[in-house]
Structure 1
Amino acid sequence: MPAAAQAADAAKPADKAIQSAGGKAQGEAVFSTGVAKGRDRLDSATSTSALRASEFETYGARSLGEVLRNIPGIRAEYAIGEGNANYSIRGLPLSSTGSKYVQLQEEGLPVLEFGDLYLFGTDMFMRADLNISQIETIRGGSASTFASNSPGGVINLISKTGDSEGGAVQATYGLGYGEKRVDGAYGGKISDTLRFHVGGFYRQGEGPRDVGYTAYKGGQLKANITKTFDNGYVRIYGKYLNDRTPNYQFVPIKVSGTNADPTYSAPANFDPKTDSLLSRYTTNVIRLDENNNLTQSDARGGQHAVVKSVGLDAQFDVKGWTITEKFRFSDVGGSNQTVRPIAVNQASVLAVANGGVGSMLSYATGPQAGQAITSPATLNGNGLLTSSLQFGTKIKSLDNVTNDIRASRVWDINGGDLTTTAGFYASSQDYAMDMAFLNVLASVAGNGQSTLINTKTAAGVPFTQDGYIAYSIGNTHRRNYDMNYGVNAPYASINYRIGKIAVGGSLRYDMGKVRGTLYGAELGGGLPATTSFDMNRDGVISTAETKVSYLPLGQPGHVDYDYNYLSYSTGLNYRVAEQLAVFGRYSRGGRASADRILFTPAVNYKTGKLVDDASAYDTVKQLELGLKYRIAGLTFNATGFSAKTGERNTQVSSGADGQAQVVNIVRGYEAKGVELEAAVRKGPFSVTAGATYTDAKITSDASRPELVGNKPRHQADFIYSVTPQVELKSVTFGANVIGTTSSYAQDTNQLKLPGYKLVNAFVQVRPTERVQLMLNVNNLFNKLALIDSEQPAIPASGVVLGRAYLGRTASATLRYTF
């Protein structure tokens, strides 16, 4: 497991030295993310981990979420695919989507300022490939004061910089599923003072779930060049990402038994472990654009991330001061399109709901388009239909500019080291996007064969058109955003270390400016939310065409408010011995509310001001007590924690009628527990492990006081990962095991999601010095592991909408190192 592997003196010879910010090899475990100055972790009152590329490649991870799931304290829900996974740390709530309290970074700067932008999580714009040297994480602690909007922690992907001459090229092939991928990387010296690194990947294929089309297509290219001087370095780097991945949403899953002891299983002819409701027959998206003109797109575009960025990283020692400057500009675009079911039931039931008693069904798309469905009860062997949303979401701009400059100096005071740091952070984050949610009726078929379905009333009048129930979902989610979020944050820290004791503290003052304009059905000023529009241009307005969402362009909503808040952190570290340290820390951090309070009553859209200033940000207060132990061949870290969180958010869940509902949340939480991390190495054998025990509860809720005392949804008491492996001269083999105890599907604490244990096996064979063949098998025993259910209790239909991790998948990789 992550950090602990430092004790093992590295699993791979090439990884015995870790690059510092300047690219120099360090013999000891120096950590630099979310702290004032890089130092040995046993001298820092923080809980941190560093995961090397050579470690996480053994997991067979197909997404960043699968990598991060193995870091202690991090809760990752990644069944959605590659991008838009959910991340939290140490019991902090996952009441919605994304990574609200956790900031994801590359090269020490945020990829997006806010980790939970609606439908666009930060990890959608990041990829782990051969460019990565290591992933550093800090949980709690000084993350509150050395980064904005990160009170829970920081996860930082650090690239190789050419410090070690050489490179590699590898090809990966999905065994039994459609994926072909090529990776390459190379770095080295151009001169004694100039070095470079360049790398990337390209891949294409259907992917591990059956969707019936090429769902993965694209790649990434990253490069950097570093000039070193006697007193520092300057690095310029760039990234181009253009990658398309599917957005795997909820699927029907059968459930029997009781809420407290449910049994989940697959519907006939549909496997939640390998199937998806994505299909070539459900991809045509027809809607009105931001100017209320007819437009068409293709849901096969999925999560399409396009990033063009350039950055500067520099550090110099000047007259006793260390000056560090980090800057990056990112041009971020793309889209997010998919199919998301909001209700599932027998075909006959949904036919009545969408056409009345005696309604008739027929195929709207697919090979049988136009044919009547004479036996709804046996449709696709399971007799199920879904009322689903088609997401048509386009990024106009997620561009961001970030700059972080700091100065540090170590002073000799009475025989001790006094480290002072002062810095200033500034960022500008655009949030401009066009969103439309449309309502379709779809069948449930495996192997990418789902189709849209039409209904007619008993009198033969079409209720749907081409599978569309409505070109809207009532008066909501037809939105257009044109926002900008500015953040300026001065910060400072002081740390005094003398003998075995180090004590310090840090402050950060965030000042935010939020400006923008919104258009949406909810802001129509009393105008109707839908209109009639001839969507298929046949000259006739059908029933579905009377329910077309549009933007009330003459009724904009204005957003114009400022906010500020103070974050602080203080800690004490006592190095009991060379091998042992204990620490304590208390921190308070903030998280700006960003887009999650838009289209809610939190803003007066005529003036643009907040109705209540408290809506501008949420706070997290954390207490940590920890122990770190390190000797040759063994590392053990333990951290007890207690956290109190306030939150304003929106949550999508299922109402009593089975339809999706959007709930505004104003809530408080508490969590306490312990986080463990360990690594042991003896000869060729090593094992790394991490575990987190969490006792969390809802402490307040403004609109649903009956939830007070309940456990937050999806929060298991115990999550863990264990990776034993044997490394011989020509072969390495082992397993990566991840698991969790049971949790509740929703905050009402009725329906349980069973605990699970997933075993991922790996073997690496090195027939020659430069050649390596890797075989990875994920979910070796093909277990059904659920992370989600929209329904809070078992419905009368016995079918819920849930998300499950992939079943057994295997891949083979051939690598040549040079």
Structure 2
Amino acid sequence: MKTNNQPNSTSKSFLQLRIGTSTMFLLLSLLYVFNSWASTNHSFDDVLQESTITGTIKDERGEPLPGATVQVVNTTIGSVSDFDGNYTITIPNAATKLLFSYSGFAQQEVLIEGKTTIDITLIESALSLEEVVLTGTTNPRKKIESSVAISTLSVKEMESRVIRNSADLLKSVPGLWVESTGGDGPGNVRVRGFPDGGYAFMGIMEDGLPVFQAGTNSIPSPDQFFKVDATIKQSEAIRGGTAPIIMQGAAGALVNNITKTGGNEFEGLVKISTSPNQDMYRLDLNLGGPISEGLHYNIGGFLRTDDGVYDYGYAANKGGQIKANVVKYLDKGSIRVYTKFIHENVNWNLTSPYIFNKNGDLGDVPGFDNKKDGAGLNGADTQYSYTLPSGEVVERDVQDGFYTNLISGGFEFKHELGNNWFFKNNFRIDDITHNNDTDILTDITTLDTNNSYFYTDGTQVADVANLNGNGLGMGAVIIASDNKYKNLINRLEISKRGDKNGLTIGLEYFKYQLESSSSQALVTKELTHAPRLLIANDPNASAFLPVALLAPGGITQADGTENTFSIYITDELEVSDKLRIDTGFRYDHKSLKGNNFGKEGSSIFAGGAGYTIGDPVAFDESQGNWVASIGLNYKFNEGFALFARGSRGYNGLKLGDFTADAADPTALSELDTRVIRQGEVGFKYSSPSFGLFSSLIYADVNNLAKSIAIPGPSGLVSQQIFISSRTISAEIEASYKIDKNFNLRLITTIQDPEYTDLTFTANEGTFVEGQTFDWAGNTAERVPKLTADMTINYSAKKLNAFTGLRYYSKRWSTPANNVELKGFSEVYVGAGYNFSKSLNLNFNVANLFNSIQLTEGNTRGDQFVDIDTIDGTPRLGRRNLPRTFFINMTYKF
């Protein structure tokens, strides 16, 4: 494995910047050549007679709507309004209708009838059920006409949610339980009660392609490769239904984030943000406009430095992102070339100490305040080194946290073939270095007063029994991991758009390559805010004990390649003006090939010298899986519809299943298909002032691989087991427009997730070895049975404000259902003032009343404890994030 987490040298940074700049220059050059060729030899004027229409798009208060879309109906010809709401569109003389749309507003179709000027006033739509959605449809359609549970989130709605990280964006989607307490580190998303987190059942897309399709529990996490910034135009979320047809492995839900493209006029946005209580400074920038006739660009991103919500004496989050695209509009389509560059270090907030009480109350350990203190390693002790049994020296710095260096690029080509047939191809490649330095607490112990304890600078602890008012130490494991990922994905679609039918046939190829290695070391920390390391008895000894001296899990190494070939077909049939039937089918053939290296040696407790990397254990597995879905939507009128959908999906084997340290290739190869079935019925109601989207869902999953941590003499032992579960739930999304200034929005999920099969016998080397545990019938852990998210917005010409309340009911910490986590709520508030059309100042507060509760208990052992014996004792858990203030100023031009 590598001994350095990341290339820190100036020359390396300049090299990466030059690569990113050179890539963009090459793309621009190619488009310039293409543009010149197209202008000279294939001018639009040569093939069609044209006319030009201009106008202004405003809201009902008379305010301009920048970025509104104008499209010639049943063509790919479109335009975007500028900063003042003005638009210009060149249309063929045969065109009869224009479609005007803007996120959060009801669309309007207008007859052209020879007009050269068309001004439009768009009306805000309660819940935006009149809004046209693009994700997963052949013919773009209104949400009220879709048989899929779909939610949209505009930039305006994002601003009223106080989004602190990429995972926070998903909290606006019903049916998802999102734990974003890791801060800017990996988030945890549980979809419709399925008993696995991370992004195992959740897909994140960017402009129609998966951000990262591997689908794992925590690492690699797609939210590390997607960042929310000023380049985002809109997000569309699909739950269940067609999600696994649109994206391989997204069995529960997906979110497609749509990037801005440049309009006919130059526009820019500069946003400066700060947070005084976490010393955060951030710059967001977005620029877009025309290069020449029919050739547009958009470029933006962000740069920030941030100490994080807990100050450990260093910048926990630093770096940024650059995204750019160039679009050439052709007479019968377009070509868009795009690139993205991320260079970032972020901190991952994990567990911290608290006093466990059976009634669910969160107690403070003396010397540690749950409302403001953090248990991450103090900045004075983050640099370290240790020697593995192989003789390799590991040199790292915990300050590097989750380091991401991503370079991505691709193109999207759209072309109208004629007779309402359309061709689209979307291609992207990613090159990712993703190294992780993680500090994970494992236990709390009383320091032995018979020992002398020293800090790493040689200072001796004067009073061990009363150190920090508690005399306690915290065991932790420091994990150093080096990972390289390469992705290649190509999606080709041919579709037929008719008045009554829309058919799409797609072919997709996905290639994912992984190289990974890691090592671990045990440390002891004092129990206080930003704790220092402790060394027992010998001040000259190392504070780091390599786990490889004790157990084989102390080192890992794996590599592999995943190739997937897919075909999918969707058909949208309008049986009548009221009834639509949607069907879809997808077949994926996946091959997994690689090596998970074995371990050689024995523990020093058994007289050995520790463990080293041994011979590779090869795996070579292929499998085919299919997805099918059918949905009905019956629209009684423009404001009321019923829908129903049934689907059969799967959670297939992934590269990470075989490269996990505790993986059993034989058991995985013999595993039956992990089938996921979902059925839902629901209704949609829309009026000018009220919108409601509600559904009742049944979902089950079978043969899911799950890793469970069992305490043993040498620490936690990971064991792979296989489980099944079912969930009955209701998802409600409602919006009420009180008047032209006030709006109320509610997002609620009610669910009952239950294990139908969870039985295993503990492996050797654990404290409970040989014991059989049967937890079938228990409630799935960490999923609240009720979540509610209510926001009241006020918006006027000069002033806007919002207040939001988020409530999460009690949950079980473990699948054993022995430790209960208390329910809690958070309040979010914000206000903004528009000094002019260009200049805006906002002030937001997340978790206003600093309500602190656990979102996660100690999942690495709590399932085996008796709560009567631990009542009133120090334990480990993961809290929601504390109160944070944000101030930002935005200038648009």
TM-score exceeds 0.5: yes
Aligned match of 2:23: none
Deviation at 1:376, TM superposition (A): 2.3
Number of the residue aligned with 2:676: 620
Matching residue within 704, 707, 717 for 1:648: 704
Secondary structure of the corresponding residue to residue 223 of structure 1 = strand
Q: How many residues align?
A: 760
Equivalent residue for 1:153, pick from 253, 256, 262:
253
Tell me which residue corresponds to 1:455. Answer: 536
CA distance in 2, matches of 1:598, 1:720: 38
Distance 2:268 2:336 in 1: 20
- Of the three residues 292, 306, 309, the one matched with 1:208 is 309
- Show the 5 A alignment for 1:123-522: 123-163=223-263, 165=265, 166-256=267-357, 258=358, 261-274=359-372, 275-287=374-386, 293-319=392-418, 320-348=420-448, 358=450, 360-365=451-456, 369-395=457-483, 397-411=484-498, 417-446=500-529, 448=530, 450-456=531-537, 465-468=542-545, 470=547, 474-499=551-576, 500-519=578-597
Q: 1:593 to 1:472 in 2, by over 3 A?
A: farther
| Letter matched to residue 479 of structure 2 | F
Deviation of 1:811 after TM superposition, in Å, equals: 1.3
Q: Corresponding residue for 2:884? A: 809
For each residue in 1:172-206, what CA deviation from the matched residue of structure 2 results, as whole angstroms up to 9, or x when unmatched? 11122211111111111223311111101101131
Any idea what the Cα deviations from partners look like across 1:655-709, whole Å, max 9, x if unmatched?
A: 4889534232300000011100011222100111100000110001241652111
Deviations 1:722-766 (A, max 9, x none): 110111221111112211100011111111111111001111111
Equivalent residue letter for 1:695? D
Larger Rg: 2
Unaligned runs of 5+ in 2: 1-58, 81-99, 102-106, 108-130, 761-771
**Secondary structure of residue in 2 paired with 1:644:** strand
Kindly state the Cα deviation for residue 148 of structure 1 after the two structures are TM-superposed: 0.6
The answer as to whether partners of 1:592 and 1:617 remain within 8 angstroms in 2 is: yes
The answer (yes or no) to whether the contact 1:30–1:39 under 8 Å persists in 2 is yes
Instruction: Please give the per-residue CA displacement for 1:626-682, whole angstroms capped at 9, x wherever unaligned.
Output: 111112132110011000112433435464889534232300000011100011222
Distance in 2 between the 1:473 and 1:444 partners? 25
Cα 1:91–1:117 change in 2 (3 A) is closer
Specify the alignment match of 2:617 in structure 1: 557
Structure 2: which amino acid aligns with 1:615? Answer: L
Instruction: Give 4+ residue runs of structure 1 displaced > 6 Å after superposition.
Output: 8-12, 19-23, 461-464, 543-547
Is residue 2:153 matched to residue 1:51? yes
**AA of the residue aligned to 1:440:** V
Contact map agreement 1:290 1:551 (CA 8 A) in 2: no
> 1:528 maps to which residue?
601
| Residue aligning to 1:677 | 733
Is the CA contact (8 Å cut-off) linking 1:287 and 1:436 kept in structure 2?
no
Which structure 2 residues correspond to residues 63-82 of structure 1 after superposition, within 5 A?
Answer: 63-82=165-184
Q: How far has the Cα of 1:163 moved from its partner? A: 2.9
- Deviation of residue 59 (structure 1)? 1.9
CA deviation profile, 1:551-592 (whole Å, cap 9, x unmatched) = 12xx11101111111111111111111111111111111222
Instruction: Find the residue that maps to 1:664 and give its secondary structure.
Output: strand
Q: Does 1:688 align with 2:745?
A: yes
**Preserved contact between residue 727 and residue 752 of structure 2 (Cα < 8 Å):** yes
What CA distance in whole angstroms lies between the structure 2 residues aligned with 1:19 and 1:169? 25
Separation of aligned partners in 1, 2:438 and 2:892: 39
Q: Tell me: CA distance 1:614–1:159, structure 2 relative to 1, closer, same or farther (3 Å).
A: farther
SS at match of 1:528: strand
More off after superposition, 746-755 vs 614-623: 614-623
Contact 1:285 1:390 in 2 (8 A): no
- In the aligned structure 2, how far is the partner of 1:292 from the partner of 1:313? 49
Q: Offset of 1:157 from its aligned partner?
A: 1.3
- Within-5 A mapping of 1:9-48: 14=65, 17=68, 24=79, 26-27=100-101, 28=107, 29-48=131-150
Say which is worse superposed, 262-271 or 208-217, in terms of deviation: 262-271
Q: 1:641 to 1:657 in 2, by over 3 A?
A: farther
Confirm or deny: 8 A CA contact 1:290 1:434 kept in the other structure: no
Give CA deviations for 1:520-575 in whole Å, capped at 9, x if unaligned. Answer: xxx23xx32557xxxxxxxxxxx9998654312xx111011111111111111111
Which of 75, 96, 101 aligns to 2:201? It is: 101
**SS where residue 398 of structure 1 aligns?**
strand
Q: Does the aligned pair in 2 maintain the 1:468–1:544 contact within 8 Å?
A: no
Residue aligning to 1:760 = 828
Measured against aligned partners, the alpha-carbon deviations of 1:56-91 in whole angstroms (never above 9, x if no partner) come to: 122222101122112212211111111311112221
> C-alpha displacement at 1:312, in angstroms?
0.9
Aligned to 1:577: 637
Instruction: State the distance in 2 between where 1:86 and 1:546 align.
Output: 39
Q: CA 1:418/1:43 → structure 2, altered by over 3 Å: closer, same or farther? A: same
- Structure 1's 337 and 10: CA in aligned 2 closer, same or farther, altered over 3 A? farther
- SS of the residue aligned with 1:380? helix
Q: 8 Å contact 1:691–1:719 — kept in the other structure?
A: yes
Q: Structure 1 residue 489: deviation in Å?
A: 0.6
% same residue: 23
Task: Report the alpha carbon displacement of residue 807 of structure 1 after superposing the two structures with TM.
Answer: 1.3
Does residue 707 of the first structure (1) align with residue 775 of the second (2)?
Answer: yes
Which amino acid is the alignment partner of residue 473 of structure 2?
L
Deviation of 1:226 (Å): 0.7
Alpha-carbon contact 2:264-2:296 (below 8 Å) kept: no
Which TM-score applies when normalising by structure 2? 0.81
Q: Secondary structure in 2 aligned to 1:551?
A: strand
Taking structure 1 as reference, are residues 290 and 584 closer, same or farther at Cα in structure 2, changes over 3 Å only?
farther
Preserved CA contact (<8 Å) 1:101 1:591? yes
Cα deviation, 1:131-179, whole Å, max 9, x if unaligned, reads 0001111000011212111111111111101137412101111122211
Distance 1:440 1:473, change over 3 A: farther
2:584 aligned counterpart, secondary structure: strand
Counterparts of 2:601 and 2:562, CA distance in 1: 30
Shift of 1:373: 2.8
How big is the shift at 1:272? 3.3
- Structure 2 equivalent of residue 112 of structure 1: 212
Q: For residues 63 and 695 of structure 2, what CA distance do their matches in structure 1 show?
A: 28
Query: 1:493, 1:507 within 8 Å by CA — same for their partners in 2?
Result: yes
Which structure has more relative contact order (CA 8 Å, sep 6+)? It is 1
What code does the residue aligned with 1:528 have?
A: G
- Cα deviations by residue, 1:189-243 (Å, 9 ceiling, x for unpaired): 2233111111011011312212111111100000111111222111011100001
For residues 678 and 857 of structure 2, the distance between their equivalents in structure 1, rounded to whole angstroms, comes to: 30
Which AA in structure 1 matches 2:534? Answer: I
Q: Is the 8 A contact 1:644 1:668 kept in 2?
A: yes
Compared CA separation, residues 136 and 602, structure 1 to 2 (3 A): same
| Cα pair distance change 1:250/1:547, threshold 3 Å | farther
User: Are the aligned partners of 1:235 and 1:313 in contact in 2 as well (CA < 8 Å)?
Assistant: yes
**Inter-partner Cα distance in structure 1 for 2:606 and 2:304:** 39
What is the CA distance between 1:389 and its match in structure 2?
Answer: 0.5
Secondary structure (helix, strand or coil) at the match of 2:452 reads strand
Larger deviation: 97-106 or 12-21?
A: 12-21
Does structure 1 conserve the Cα–Cα contact (< 8 Å) formed by 2:341 and 2:408? yes
